[in-house]
Amino acid sequence: MIRILNQSQILINMKVLIVDFEDSFTFNIQGMLKEWGIPSEVLNNKNLSLQHIKDKSYQTVIWGPGPGHPDEYSSASLIIEELFKESKVYQIGICLGHQLILKSMGYEITEAPIKRHGRRDEYIIPSWEEFKMASHGEKLSVQYYSSLAVKYEGNPVSGLEVTNKNGVIDSSKGANHLSFQFHPESVGTNCPEVLFYKWRKSLIQ
């Protein structure tokens, strides 16, 4: 049985930025965080710069979903690459954000083998430290909205762990990032708090 992290616990002062690629789901992400007591700011990707992130001292940057191909957002890709050099900044990628993070590591973006717009599917929680041990192997229903995907190419790059579904990377994690091809913030995903267990716990005082 999956247990939800205690909602009454106090969160420390944490600066979270959500990068908006002009997608309404961005504000669903912000609403989800607000329900958990986590304040966040939203900034359009066109107004984003590495210096802005440094000036504002954001500790987490969430790269949200959006339309189009990751190649259309070259400035975001460059910022992601630079942030990986900043050990203090944690990055989370959702859908397009997931693709941008992995593209910055050299992975290929391809047509999704199954185009899933508003379709639910099963996600088996991997045995990663990001997730509570008791939830490892549990099955969640998650919601997808995607025509593109990240091609799975066998052994991942050093320090990266991934889950593979139908030949594409469904989720990934590294020392300073976590990403999902599906939408944790969608009403079609049950128990989204389980997917951010370690990250949420790191914010609790």
pLDDT in tens, 4-24: 444 444 455 679 999 999 999
Contact status, residue 170 vs residue 181, Cβ threshold 8 Å: yes
Rounded distance between C-alpha atoms, residue 20 and residue 127, angstroms? 30
User: What top-level class would CATH report for the domain 16-203?
Assistant: alpha beta
Question: pLDDT category, 88, cuts 50, 70, 90?
Answer: confident
| pLDDT of 8 | 43
Strand extents, DSSP E, the chain: 16-20, 41-44, 60-63, 90-94, 109-124, 139-150, 161-165, 168-174, 177-180
pTM of the predicted model over 0.75: yes
The band of 50, judged by pLDDT with boundaries at 50, 70 and 90, is very high
3-state secondary structure (DSSP) of residue 63: strand
Mean pLDDT highest for which of 1-5, 12-16, 48-52?
48-52
The burial class, CB within 10 Å (0-12 / 13-18 / 19+), for 97 is: buried
Q: What percent of the chain has pLDDT over 90?
A: 78
Which DSSP letter does residue 181 get?
A: S
Residues designated as active site: 95
* Rg of the chain, C-alpha, whole Å: 16
